[in-house]
């Protein structure tokens, strides 16, 4: 039994780490309940999720090793089977491409045209310096992984879905510097309905959980809005992802696997 003692400590450490990660994640979601709508159940870019997953895996594998050494080798191997099956199931679920709407031929043509025109028009903004020189300014805190840069002159110019007047550019902060990952179109009037160009192939979205100052600056998310800020419905907006995205070229979010790949590789 003495040989198992170090492994028991590892098992305990894994369980404790999982509990710590769970407490961390609960505290994050308690401060920002709307966050769940913008993250996957196991997001590799969220440290709390990584801590939970790693802790559970370490604890389970350590317990199976103790069973094999202290009780019966075959029983220990049997204990590993649900662990391996669970890891495989999780990997398959996370790597499988979600089923996306196909739309009609006309809708696909319209979606392809907008994506191609947007990609061509934003090519000159691959450099963040070029975007800044052209009037784009940071809209949310620069320290975040994904930062929106808006051009105020385009926010109230009366143009809708104009590739030459993209209201916002989205850059990911990577180890290699900022990388342009998306353009974002935005309506002007929060009460206006978005145009139906390609049906469900272009899922417009908007937010009601962002904290705005009277000057329009985003300073947080509900329910933790700083004093002097408030939440309200934003106008409808549409992302056009210029990088691979398992959720679709016009999804509201970038899937975590491609986000991690861009973060590390650029």
* H or E element in which residue 82 lies: helix 73-95
Distance from the Cα of residue 85 to its chain's centroid: 27
Residues 6+ away with beta carbon under 8 Å from 9:
none
Mean pLDDT value of segment 178-207:
91
Rounded Cα distance, 208 and 30, in Å: 17
Taking only the tens place, the pLDDT of each residue in 47-95 is 888 899 999 999 999 999 989 888 888 998 999 999 999 999 888 877 7
Rounded Cα distance, 266 and 257, in Å: 13
Mean pLDDT value of segment 221-239:
78
**pLDDT of res. 216:** 63
Rounded Cα distance, 27 and 46, in Å: 13
**pLDDT of res. 222:** 64
Domain boundaries defined on the chain: 2-95, 105-265
Taking only the tens place, the pLDDT of each residue in 121-177 is 999 999 999 999 999 998 766 567 888 899 988 988 889 999 999 999 999 988 889
**pLDDT of res. 1:** 43
Taking only the tens place, the pLDDT of each residue in 85-134 is 999 988 887 777 778 888 999 999 999 999 999 999 999 999 999 999 99
The answer to whether residue 2 scores a pLDDT higher than 60 is: no
């Amino acid at each position: 039994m003495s040989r198992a003692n170090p492994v028991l400590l590892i098992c305990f450490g894994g369980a404790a780490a999982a509990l710590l990660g769970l407490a961390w994640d609960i505290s994050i979601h308690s401060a920002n309940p709307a966050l769940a709508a913008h993250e996957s159940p196991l997001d590799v870019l969220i440290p709390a999720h990584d801590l939970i997953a790693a802790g559970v895996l370490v604890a389970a594998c350590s317990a199976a090793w103790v069973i094999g050494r202290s009780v019966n080798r075959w029983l220990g191997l049997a204990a590993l089977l649900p662990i391996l099956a669970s890891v495989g199931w999780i990997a398959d679920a996370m790597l499988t491409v979600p089923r996306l709407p196909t739309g009609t031929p006309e809708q696909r043509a319209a979606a392809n045209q907008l994506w191609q025109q947007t990609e061509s028009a934003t090519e000159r903004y691959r450099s963040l310096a070029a975007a800044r020189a052209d009037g784009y300014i940071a809209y949310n805190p620069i320290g975040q992984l994904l930062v929106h840069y808006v051009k105020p002159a385009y926010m109230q110019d009366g143009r809708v879905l104009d590739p030459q007047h993209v209201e916002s550019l989205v850059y990911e902060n990577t180890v290699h510097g900022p990388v342009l990952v998306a353009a974002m179109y935005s309506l002007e009037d929060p009460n206006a309905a978005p145009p139906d160009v390609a049906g469900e192939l272009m899922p417009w979205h908007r937010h009601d959980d962002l904290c705005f100052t009277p000057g329009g600056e985003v300073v947080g998310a509900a329910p933790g809005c700083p004093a002097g800020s408030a939440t309200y419905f934003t106008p409808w907006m549409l992302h056009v992802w210029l990088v691979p995205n398992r959720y679709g070229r016009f999804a509201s979010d970038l899937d975590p696997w491609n986000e991690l790949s861009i973060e590390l590789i650029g």
